[in-house]
A and B are shown apart, each in its own frame.
Chain A
Amino acid sequence: MIIIDAASPVPPFEQLRAQLARQIQDRTLAVGARLPTIRHLAADLGLAVNTVGRAYRELEEAGLIETRGRAGSFVSAAGEEGRERVRRAAADYAAVVAGVGIDAGEAIRIVQAALTSRGAAPTPS
């Protein structure tokens, strides 16, 4: 379920984007689930088509949903795969850290430095 509050200081498109992103990430919306069309969701929520379109576009750019032409928009597996790759890389990194004998605190600082040096958060692949 999605709830849009017109009285909220958060813009409607951001409320929609955040709720959709949360439901995709916590798997309330399964990978492959078909989302309502932009026009339909806009009518249901009493929003402008452009507002819903913008939320969908940002979710697509984040790799959380994919649009397959006229078939509609679907929850993408890309976000899930990206998270799995990160988990595997973290496990490999933990093994390297243990092998080299660096303590956990320093290992975390190394990761933080690496993430900071990249600037923005890495995009899902």
Chain B
Amino acid sequence: MTREPSPDAGPPTRAADLRLAGEWLARHDLAGARPTPLLASRLVVRRQARLAAHVILGVLIIASALASVAFLGPQPQHPLQLPALTVVVAGLLLAQSLLDWWVRRVDQRAGATLSRRAAHLIQPGWRAVLGRPYAVFTVATFAGAMALTGSALAVPDPTVRRPAVVLLIGMLGATAIFALQLRHLLRHPVVAEDEESLTADVIMRVEDARVLATPNVQWSLPMVLLFGTAPGWWSAASVAYLLLGLVAFIALNTRTPSSATVARQAMSNR
């Protein structure tokens, strides 16, 4: 049962959004549950936020590539390129923070329309949401990308070292963005009115965590910036890193239980 929406509760839920919410429930073995405006609005905002987060990472890759191109040659032609890239990375971090704030705000407004509110007493932590296999994979992926960055920085050739500096800035930015997203995922308030919507909330978090664990910048940035200009051993190492990561990622996706199963396990433990 819901209260009258508050004045700032946003536009009424569209039929298409409710239909998508119904499909989402069916996909997660919750076909018996009724798609509510609360769930529909939360799913819509998550879809948009996910798209925007991908755009942010795309901008990071393009900005890094542009900074790297400006650095090619024996002498840096644009000494302001590195500070400019740093400013871009800081701007992207701010954009990510604003994106997270926007998701929280939409959730808060949706929650304000509920007459009943439900919450966990034992919060699902990173083990329940991300899961140990995905956590290990994520750490290994970031560590591998950082190792490639470090080894490129150790090459005395300036045509390799300069893009490696750009790569380092890009990777630090990507790591910071990841940390921000994960923190938001684990700490933003629950919006639920009963056990069903509480389960849906956990499923959303598990889904978001898995999308977050999917490597993008870690895999693409070293290739974009250094492949071809770095020594042969570095290129071989980067290809091996990519192929190993890909195999591990496929294995992870095929062998781990679905997000709905993980969410139900997490709910049964609380």
User: Which residues of A are at the interface with B, using a C-beta cutoff of 8 A?
Assistant: 1-7, 20, 23, 29, 33-36, 40-41, 43-47
Contact = CB atoms under 8 A, between A and B. Distances in A.
A7 B187 CA distance: 28
B116 interface: yes
Given A23-B121, A35-B121, A3 B194 contact: yes
A43 B117 contact: no
B117 A1 contact: no
A45 B116 CA distance: 8
B111 interface: yes
B189 A40 contact: yes
Given A1-B195, A6-B115, 15 more contacts: A1-B119, A1-B121, A3-B193, A4-B116, A5-B115, A6-B114, A7-B116, A20-B121, A29-B122, A33-B122, A36-B119, A41-B119, A45-B118, A46-B111, A46-B117
A1 B189 contact: no
A2 B187 CA distance: 18
Given A20-B121, A35-B121, A40-B123, A1 B115 contact: no
Nearest to B111: A46
B190 interface: yes
Contacts of B118: 1-4, 45
Question: SS class of chain B's interface: helix, strand, loop or mixed?
Answer: loop
Nearest to A33: B122
Question: SS class of chain A's interface: helix, strand, loop or mixed?
Answer: mixed
B120 interface: yes
Contacts of A3: 116-118, 193-194
B121 A6 contact: no
A20 B121 CA distance: 9
15 contacts: A1-B121, A1-B270, A2-B119, A4-B116, A4-B117, A5-B116, A6-B116, A6-B117, A7-B115, A34-B122, A40-B189, A44-B190, A45-B117, A46-B114, A47-B117
A1 B116 contact: no
A46 B270 contact: no
B220 to A, nearest CB: 36
Nearest to A37: B123
Interface in B202-229: none
A41 B3 CA distance: 21
Interface string B35-64: 000000000000000000000000000000
B112 interface: yes
Nearest to B188: A43
B198 interface: yes
Contacts of B121: 1-2, 20, 23, 29, 33, 35-36
A44 B119 contact: yes
A125 to B, nearest CB: 26
Most buried by A among B116, B187, B198: B116
A3 B121 CA distance: 10
Contacts of A29: 121-122
B140 to A, nearest CB: 30
Interface string B136-158: 00000000000000000000000
10 closest A-B pairs by CB? A44-B119, A43-B189, A44-B190, A45-B117, A3-B118, A46-B117, A6-B115, A5-B116, A44-B189, A7-B115
Interface in B105-141: 111-112, 114-123
Interface string B181-201: 000000101100111001000
Contacts of B122: 29, 33-34
Contacts of A5: 115-116
